[in-house]
Chains A and B, each alone.
Chain A
Amino acid sequence: MKTVIIKYNAGNVQSVMYALDRIGAGYLYTDDADEIRSADKVIFPGVGEASTTMNYLRKTGLDKLIPSLTQPVFGTCIGMQLMCRFSEENNTECMGIFDVDVKRFPATPGFKVPHMGWNNISGYQTDLAKDLTDNAYMYFVHSYAAPVCEFTVASCEYIHPFSAMLQKDNFYAAQFHCEISGNAGQQIIENFLKI
């Protein structure tokens, strides 16, 4: 099986590679269109700011390539947000795979933003959550979130309910960092590789 991690100008990709190493899964880290197209599984990870990362994707043509992929694609954190239609973070038009807009958490007394730390997810309706215990805890770090919508396959609550995971056809996404979310996060990565 050929797994590709998409190379672009986002941070923290190292942890994703280590997570794949831990489960003994090989991978290629590349931005080459042919390599990405011919992969069995594609992971689109990263930490970053929406407009900067999106500009980079446009410059390299990845913004057209990613939505055209037909094999399972898994976006995490900023990867998930870039797969949505629009992000309020510097008013960025994103790739529009999921027709939903990413919004900043509203300033609310008693709640700090970013939402940082371990929070539980629930309402699983995805193969990625197979064998996961109910209300599993995942590690989140984000200031913007996709609201609950028709593509939501797991949700989380901070200030208001939001999408922890999205799914549409061959596209899967998680707002949290599976790669550092303990054994529960590892389970999700293993499930993705088994699809």
Chain B
Amino acid sequence: MLTKRIIPCLDVKEGRTVKGVNFVNLRDAGDAVELGALYAAQGADELVYLDITATIDGRSTFIDLVRRVAHTINIPFTVGGGISSIADVSALLHAGADKVSINSAAVKNPDLINELSLEFGSQCIVVAIDTRYIETENGYEHIVHTHGGRKPTELRTIPWAREVEERGAGEILLTSMDTDGTKNGFALELTATVSGNANIPVIASGGAGSMEHFYDVFTAGKADAGLAASIFHFREIDIPDLKDYLNDKHLPIRMTR
């Protein structure tokens, strides 16, 4: 049976992980390759590496990191952050990334989604959607945001999700900026709407604080995968425990121990 995926997300700057990481058994907690390998060994189903470096030098450091990750780990991983052209995607895929995630560039130029999926295949094109529930002229609506969720766009989240699929996205990474960082749970209703409308997998992100939140997002939220960062990095939830918990609750989970 196709399983629900658990995906740790690692933010990377100048080739090293940021956001404090609390793994005592790691030689170097800032080493993004070593941390990824640890998650893979623990049973993570995929990894996401987000490059938050803004400089040109940082970009080449990131590609070097992608190469080292691909060499080391034997599970799929997605890379994102500042990707805006066919050349960017080509460099990352050639370095060994399995998928790339585009965000602001897709909002700015939606044709990029079509171009990338034709060039590289839908299966490796993830469109990240950062969304926030805000007041508009029509009352409160889910609105797509860019720049790390700070800048509202004209786009409504639910039709935009449908559009990115029609344009050839292979997967949607949906981050609710309302729940992100709250640890109060994923945005269930919105995730269920987006995932229920989509014929491509939806990765839910933002708000995970407990194991139950993952159960909720896979059931009520209809998500295909759940992504989180700090709760894994700070070991508030260990991936093997989370998988045991979800398996005990009869969700389809890839058990590795």
Contact = CB atoms under 8 A, between A and B. Distances in A.
Interface in A10-25: 11-12, 14-15, 18-19, 21-22
Contacts, number: 84
B71 A21 contact: yes
* A interface secondary structure, majority: mixed
A156 B199 CA distance: 21
Contacts of B3: 117-119, 137
A22 B5 CA distance: 24
Interface residues of B, number: 32
A100 interface: no
A87 B123 CA distance: 18
Nearest to A138: B254
A49 B74 CA distance: 24
Contacts of B121: 11, 47-49
Given A114-B170, A137-B3, A141-B123, A14 B96 contact: yes
Interface of B: 1-3, 5, 40, 45, 70-72, 74-76, 93-96, 98, 120-124, 170-171, 198-201, 224-225, 254, 256
Interface of A: 11-12, 14-15, 18-19, 21-22, 47-49, 112-120, 137, 139, 141, 157-158, 177, 179-183, 185-186
Given A116-B201, A116-B224, 15 more contacts: A11-B121, A11-B124, A14-B95, A15-B70, A15-B96, A15-B98, A18-B96, A22-B74, A112-B199, A114-B123, A114-B200, A117-B2, A117-B45, A182-B256, A185-B74
